[in-house]
Amino acid sequence: MKNVLCATLLLVLPFSTAYSQENNTSKKLSTQKSAALPAHLTTRIQWEQFPQPKYKNEDLKEKNRAAILRVYADETGNVTKANVQESTGLKHLDDILIQAVRASKVKPHIEQDNAVATIGFQTFNLRFIEEDEVQCAYAFNSKNWLAQKSENKTSFQYRTQPQISLNASDLKGHNRSVTFSFKVNKYGDVKKVKIKKGSGVYDLDQKVIQAISKTKVDVPRKYWIYKKSNLKDEIQFKQDGCV
């Protein structure tokens, strides 16, 4: 009887080992398959951290400049390569843009429940400012923020006013408005910002997303129960509202 039992165990153990190896191999193959999915190609990159080129007015050499960069990002959103598709006409300015893109981060594209690499283009329009031109900037005065400042009842509250880097030239000669939604976790961290109604200027929409993504909000407990963490706000930028 003991001999039969030992023989049975010897037969079972190799089978279990083989199954374990096969299962582990299957998992590895699955991971390799997801990494091998083709890159997402887009003409409009979704940014987690928008490029912030640092340049001086004199770098533009007394005229407006524009450029288009081709951007490569891996599955995690890290930029792995950036090159100039259309130049500003000034190499040192192109290098500044490349450096800004390399320091930024792309929002990973999800396909078949897997994050895939992204290849896309980013346009930059750099405006030369005349010496006698009055400079101004916009504050993040959204509908919810203004109501909050006036101590009116709101469905949520920003802990601090979101910060946005925006000037009159970003409006492209028209008043603009953006309606957006977002989710927050129990710590008040903003997640998954979505543009519900865009301004018509892609870069402006992206700046709004960036401003919201970096802020924190407080939500009354009852809204966690009945409305979960889906929140909504809107903001307007008027040409005569730049201060």
CATH number at residue 162: 3.30.2420.10
On whether residue 30 sits in a domain, the answer given is no
Instruction: Name the helix (H) or strand (E) containing 149.
Output: helix 143-149
Q: How far apart are CA 80 and CA 75, in angstroms?
A: 10
- Domain limits for position 208: 143-241
Q: What is the tens place of the pLDDT at every residue in 19-51?
A: 444 444 444 333 333 456 788 999 889 888 889
Report the phi/psi class of residue 225: left, alpha or beta, with left for phi > 0 and alpha for psi in -120 to 50.
alpha
Q: What is the tens place of the pLDDT at every residue in 192-223?
A: 899 999 999 988 999 999 899 989 999 887 65
CATH number at residue 60: 3.30.1150.10
Domain count, the chain: 2
Q: How far apart are CA 162 and CA 231, in angstroms?
A: 15
Instruction: Name the helix (H) or strand (E) containing 73.
Output: strand 65-73
Both 103 and 179 in a single domain? no
Q: How far apart are CA 202 and CA 170, in angstroms?
A: 10
Both 120 and 147 in a single domain? no
Instruction: Name the helix (H) or strand (E) containing 35.
Output: helix 2-35
> What pLDDT shows up at residue 219?
87
Where a domain ends, among 126, 157, 187? 126
Can you give the pTM of this predicted structure? 0.61
Exposure on the CB side of residue 199, measured as CA atoms within 13 A = 23
Instruction: Name the helix (H) or strand (E) containing 178.
Output: strand 176-184
